[in-house]
Chain A
Amino acid sequence: MNLTSIDWIIMLVYFAFVLGIGFVLKRRVKTSTDFFLAGRAIPAWVCGLAFISANLGAQEVIGMAASGAKYGISTSHFYWIGAIPAMVFVGIFMMPFYYGSRARSVPEYLRLRFDEKTRGLNAISFATMTVFSSGISMYAMARLIQTLHILDAPFQRMSIPPEWIFQASIIFSAGIVLGYIFLGGLSSAIYNEVLQFFLIVAGFLPLVWLGLKNVGGWHGLTQKLPAGYTHSWVGMASPHTSRLGVEWFGLVMGLGFVLSFGYWCTDFLVVQRAMAADSMSAARRTPLIAAIPKMFFPFLVILPGLIAIALPNSAPQTPVASASTSTAQPAELRGSGIIPPKMDANTGLPKVDQDGNIVLDYDLAIPNMLLHYFPTGILGLGLTALLASFMSGMAGNVTAFNTVWTYDIYQSYIRPNASDAHYLMMGRLATVFGIALSVVAAYAATRFNNIMDMLQLVFAFVNAPLFATFLLGMFWKRATGHGAFLGLISGTTAAALHHGLTLPAGAVAGIKGGWLGVVVHQYPSEMAQNFWTAIWAWSTCFVVTILISLLTKPREEKELVGLVYSLTDRPSEEHLSWYQRPVVLGAIVIAMSVLLNLVFW
């Protein structure tokens, strides 16, 4: 790839602003509340944009386009069935307890509502998870910089060996994120996330516009692709006709209910953004405001994937196709659209699956679209947007980590009763070693790819039952700490057992499932298996928590005021205009999301 000085200047300007925000905010960080909770002084719309931006990491931008190219517009279920209803639920029903209880983190809410051991379990698993997630983000970014040959030319000019590109990318991204969080804490992360949000829109909107213009608009796109690509619900009656390999029930319950509610309603990474809001009503509006741009994100991140696959095969011009993909090869050895085949590093030939079909490298959908449509200048903007998305994902994890570490682990188990200045210092230190651990995780990913897959699997097991615990905790005053703790443990166990006893079609026993030796059920796709694993985990946790709670001693009702729905005052909304009321906003959001489902049925 040939970047010219204008592209580099655009990147530099962006990074100057990112660090500049950190420096400006540094002067305003005086207490640990300033550092970890942004002083609870951020307006709702800023929290709202940070709320989605923190989640807009590599997985979202690269992964959703990849999934769009692979499965088509059905990918939008992750938004219109998944994220949106969950965001409305957390805003209307759960935020009064998170914000109103004055808990400083999600694990801390668990301690207030249940007990110390439930908090400890959640805090430790969450902290581990954030470090690895940010490491994986860092690794993916460094790999992308390598694949796109972004730094090849400057490195050659400075006669630094190309092996250093990966190292330099890791150090650079770690350095930037460390810089602005160390200085300004959560407010710096939130401000930068808002900046990143606008930058990502600015970088990808012209891409979608050019792509759509090129293929003849939405109408032209539907004509170039098989029908299943442009309809989200057609064929959902059975797993065998659905493009995702899962029927509507598994989709709605597994993805829509368990996984999405589990993520958006209980993950401190996103909830922390709402907790920083300047008032209860702002905290409740945060996820609702976030939901509005979020529901249009499929057009920004999924559509490029569809366009990439719809374009005519263009192997010779494809900017990032592997060297061996040339016009001399028969058509079936080339990629599809502008998506190149996945190459086998050992043979230098495209990888083929069991049926002899070429495996496509869908993750290159977005990068190749950028290179296909953007000339120098705006290419710099597009690449900066891509880098910004990686960093916002990393920063979200790092700020969640330093807070949970300092409040829920360090202050609770290692050194209680220290001064506020001490915890502020610990928060800054935690930022440094959180990022250092992420770097270690990124390097671990280069050596032991399977370890990363396995860790992500374990996290999925730990996360799947969480929403049952929060649902019972907030809406059933009889739920007890022993019930919650054992419910979580058994839910995670159920997830592991289900995964160990089932296998997606075409996979061999191992990391993909079936590792218990017996395969009880075979799913048509990996997605179907994931959704059903989540459903089993959630149901087990739900039932076990209820049973154990009924057998154990309930807490006094007066201790649960502000923590449980039936014992808490409804937040007053009378001073708010109609468009500021969470319930009204929530209804608008749901109506819009239903409409989108119907339009793309």
Chain B
Amino acid sequence: MPSPRDLTRAMLAFGGVLRASGLPVTTPELMDAVRALEVVDLMDRDEVYLALRTVLVSRMEEQPAFDRCFESFWKFQAEDGQGLDGLVSLTPPTLPDNEHGGNPPDAGQEKQAQIALDDWDEGEGSDDEPLEVPGLSNREVLMEQDFSTFPAEQLDEVARLTVLIAKRLARRVSRRRKPTRRGGIVDLRRSMRANLMKGEIIELRRRARRRRKVRLVLLCDVSGSMDLYSRFLLQFLYALQNVFGRVETFTFATRLTRVSDLLRGPSYKGALRRLTEVRDWSGGTRIGEAVRDFNQEWGRLVDRRTIVLILSDGWDTGEPDVLAQEMLTLKRRAGRVLWLNPLLGNPSYEPLTRGMAAALPLVDHFAAAHNLSSLRELATHLTLR
């Protein structure tokens, strides 16, 4: 029989192997594992496996990695009658190298991204005044013009306008959240306390349910012509960000990249430049795979208070079935799923690409994001119900 000290040493070594494979096991868990081994039959490999799995795995997705580690670490030599001493291989085995356990987002990322918009100052004035834009005379035309048709020298100006509209909208939305004195449910606990001296309840204390801010997750197609639309959408949403609890951004063409951190710079222009650097130009869009990667690695960013926005034209070179399956998974977890397709701005467009057709039934709202007025329209859909 191995002594508890041997067990402890073995468990600590095994813990190292697990961590290297992306399972964030803690020392208390390893100590529990030792205790677990004391109440199972060490000669029964299946039992050892089940016990360790119960203690050390804490989500289903960790199980395949755990199984591999267990296989390579605990060598069973029951014929030699060595018990657990023989189960332990002293040199840690080579680790499967395809493991990349998604690191939990660190607390710093919880902090809202701060993107200063250099060379742009916030316009004063009431919310209801028309959105006058100095320097751009024909506003209505600009509002309706497709982003892709602006000449290059006008793009900066349009970007500025995007942000202006977003800021106005943000102010309007936050005003709506002001608490009302009569709303909410009666808080009996505080009412009792407040009226204790009076002998009966005279003044009711109320409390409103604290509303958590909605979170946003963006999946932006940055392949080919989509890139331009992605930029405007990003600019728009980042200017709106103080309305949201958190904004997480991912880009994809053939593979998914998390760019939330890149967008967190002092200058938005610099941020967009950095975005260009991470772009993959390998051609083709595999939306289904991108959404699958997102679900697998970042699924935990999504809950029912999360709105997921996908910006893509739906030209998908991947399997439509994969896309449909993954959209279903996403829809189940998320509060709302919005699909933005700039091509929708074209009156003759019909969402007939195979990918689009597969995804459409699983989307809560399907909209264009091809011009300023459609972005403004989009803001009304960025609520949960």
Partners in one complex: no
Question: Which chain A residues have a beta carbon within 8 Å of chain B's beta carbons?
Answer: none
Question: Which chain B residues have a beta carbon within 8 Å of chain A's beta carbons?
Answer: none
